Amino acid sequence: MQFNHILMIGCGKMGGALLKHWSNGSEDFTIVDPALDKAPAGARLVNDAEALGEDKFDVVIAAIKPQMIDDILPGHAHRLAEGGYVLSIAAGCSTDRLARAMNDAPVVRVMPNLPAAVGQGVSGLYAAADADSDQLAHARALMERAGSVVVVDSEDKLDRVTAVAGSGPGYVFEIARAYVAAAEDLGFTREEARTMVLGTMAGTVAMAMEDDADDLGSLRNSVTSKGGTTAAGLAALNGGDELSRLMRATLQAAYDRAVELR
């Protein structure tokens, strides 16, 4: 089946970021959002759902806040064409809840992260049991336009994706912030510190992505001479395994909160 006609319910920051990349495909997108003043590039906008008339869509994308699902989504259930599916980017909203709101339609949930805005996102994807292979393949292809995709086999694991990747940009921004501040304390200007820190982080990640070695420790060791400056810095950073423990605690706290929000 071809999934050419797509309806987006809502188009906030994440929905708009994804749409920039989704609209590069062959599908046509219609957005229902009373808060938008103009349509994003590559989409048609209606502020009032009544303007859709009897139109049917191959995919209905839930891009609204989770607390709005039960009030808004049922009003669009009749707009899903036969053989269509629901794609949700509403964090924490289960497939069961989404299916109930959409007359038991097949549901695919995704958990994107903020770098999707620049086509470098990492998205978790979970398909309910009644979603077929074509629906799963289409959802995956959509998300791959905005970055890489990890398909998981349970909603619990999707919550774990949230802890690692969904919330991950926040951790990286905070690490970068602290790194820049430390460089400033060492005598550099803010501009100099940002240039060095962000450039070092970007280049190091690029090397890790291209290297054949699975063990990041071996890459670390390749730039660490015994008794040298890097070794001294690493001893302060994680000599007693403090950083490793902190990262485990960070992911566990985020996962625990995701479970609470189900």
Q: What is the pLDDT along the chain (262 residues), one digit of tens a residue?
A: 889 999 999 998 899 999 999 998 899 999 999 988 888 888 999 999 889 988 999 999 999 998 899 999 999 999 999 999 999 999 888 999 999 999 999 999 999 999 999 999 999 999 999 999 999 999 999 999 999 999 999 999 999 999 999 999 999 999 999 999 999 999 999 999 999 999 999 999 999 998 766 789 999 999 999 999 999 999 999 999 999 999 999 999 999 998 887 7
b vs e for 193-215, b when ≥16 Cβ sit within 10 Å of the residue's Cβ?
A: bbeebeeeeeeeeeeeeeeeeee
Cα 262 from Cα 253, distance rounded (Å)? 15
Residue 232 domain-assigned (yes or no): no
Positions of E strands within 47-187: 57-62, 80-88, 107-111, 121-127, 147-151
Residue 260 domain-assigned (yes or no): no
The pLDDT value given to residue 91: 84
Residue 225 domain-assigned (yes or no): no
CA angle 38–42–47, rounded 5-degree value? 35
Cα 63 from Cα 52, distance rounded (Å)? 18
> Which residue blocks in 28-132 are alpha helix, DSSP H?
69-72, 95-101
Residue 19 domain-assigned (yes or no): yes
Residue 258 domain-assigned (yes or no): no
Residue 129 domain-assigned (yes or no): yes
Cα 238 from Cα 139, distance rounded (Å)? 40
From the CB of residue 121, how many other CB atoms can be counted at a distance below 10 Å?
Answer: 26
The pLDDT value given to residue 213: 62
The pLDDT value given to residue 92: 82
Residue 109 domain-assigned (yes or no): yes
Q: How many domains does the chain have?
A: 1
Q: Which domain holds residue 76?
A: 5-165
Contacts of 78 (CB under 8 A, 6+ apart): 103
Q: Check which CATH number belongs to the domain holding 95 and give it.
A: 3.40.50.720
Residue 244 domain-assigned (yes or no): no
> Which residue blocks in 131-189 are alpha helix, DSSP H?
133-144, 155-161, 168-185
3-class DSSP state of 141: helix
Q: Which residues pair with 5 in a beta bridge?
A: 28
